[in-house]
Structure 1
Amino acid sequence: MTEISRTFTVEPAPATVLEYLKDFSHAEQWDPGTESCTQNGAGPVVVGTTWHNTSKIAGVSTELTYELTELDDRHVQFVGTNETAHTTDTITVEPHGTGSEITYVATIEMKGAAKLATPVVKLVFEKIGSDTEDDMVRVLNGL
């Protein structure tokens, strides 16, 4: 299992940040690996909403189904699955001055034969974690 964590601050207040982040289709704007991310079905974004995500990581394309599994006034959590991986992305948002402090924790567990790639996955996702932080700060500060 690989875990990547980043903590950083942004200008918008927590309510604004969480309202934006709960819609995982926005990952196209802040996740450097996401090529497309579309909500499955119509309707409001609530716990249980799912998205079809297509990503390219280290030159390899993959598709996952993400589900919003937790949402409250302090955090949002998404679980992504496919036949080779299980991911959990937990984003906690706390007040920080007039803005927000964000802690983003991504846990990636490879399945089956893909487990052999776990050491490489750690290196790749450390880089992606830094790029995600940069993109998320830019996007959120532009809200």
Structure 2
Amino acid sequence: MTSTSRTVIVDRPVEVVAAYLSDFTTSAEWDPHTVSCRHLDDGPLAIGSRFENVQRLAGHDSSLVYTVAEFEPGRRILLTGGNDTVDSRDEMTFTPTPDGGTQVTYSIDITLKGAAKLATPVMPPALKKLADEGAESLEARLRAL
């Protein structure tokens, strides 16, 4: 397993930021590697809600299906997902700052499966690069809310 975490702080209310990011379809707006993301279920966001997230990495598109495993509205969301080559655990926590802003911590754990396991040694630097790019884009998008 390869893990990383990034934290951004923005001058936006926690309710706004948490609602925006908990709707995982918005990852297509702020994650530079997400091509599209759609909610696969009807109804409100809840534990068990599913999303199809299509990511472009190294010139190839890969579809992952995520499920909301834990959800504390306004505080935290945990999504687990994957496909035949990868399992992913994505957690976002939302903490109000003293000045009315929000601290967002995005943590991800990636486990490669099957033949993809051969790439495990190169995962830490690749995941660091993805996380750095994602954090920069996330912060810019949240500032624009």
| TM-score, scaled to structure 1 | 0.94
- 1:50 aligned residue: 50
**How far apart, CA to CA, are the structure 2 residues paired with 1:41 and 1:75?**
20
Question: Is 1:75 equivalent to 2:76 in the alignment?
Answer: yes
Q: CA RMSD in A?
A: 1.2
Task: Show structure 1 runs of 4+ deviating over 6 A.
Answer: none
- 1:103 aligned residue: 105
Question: Is 1:117 equivalent to 2:122 in the alignment?
Answer: no
Question: Is 1:128 equivalent to 2:116 in the alignment?
Answer: no
Q: Report the AA paired with residue 39 of structure 2.
A: Q
**How far apart, CA to CA, are the structure 2 residues paired with 1:108 and 1:79?**
10
Q: Report the AA paired with residue 59 of structure 2.
A: G
**How far apart, CA to CA, are the structure 2 residues paired with 1:63 and 1:87?**
12
- The number of aligned residues is 143
- 1:26 aligned residue: 26
**How far apart, CA to CA, are the structure 2 residues paired with 1:5 and 1:53?**
20
**How far apart, CA to CA, are the structure 1 residues paired with 2:58 and 2:131?**
13
Q: Percent identity?
A: 35
| TM-score, scaled to structure 2 | 0.93
- Residue pair 1:34, 1:53 contacting (<8 A) in 2 also: yes
**How far apart, CA to CA, are the structure 1 residues paired with 2:51 and 2:107?**
19
- Residue pair 1:22, 1:68 contacting (<8 A) in 2 also: no
Q: CA deviation at 1:87?
A: 0.3
Specify every segment of 5 or more residues in structure 1 that has no aligned partner in the other structure, as ranges: none
**How far apart, CA to CA, are the structure 2 residues paired with 1:83 and 1:101?**
33
- Residue pair 1:89, 1:107 contacting (<8 A) in 2 also: yes
Tell me, what secondary structure is at the counterpart of 1:45?
Answer: coil
- Residue pair 1:56, 1:62 contacting (<8 A) in 2 also: yes
Q: Report the AA paired with residue 83 of structure 1.
A: D
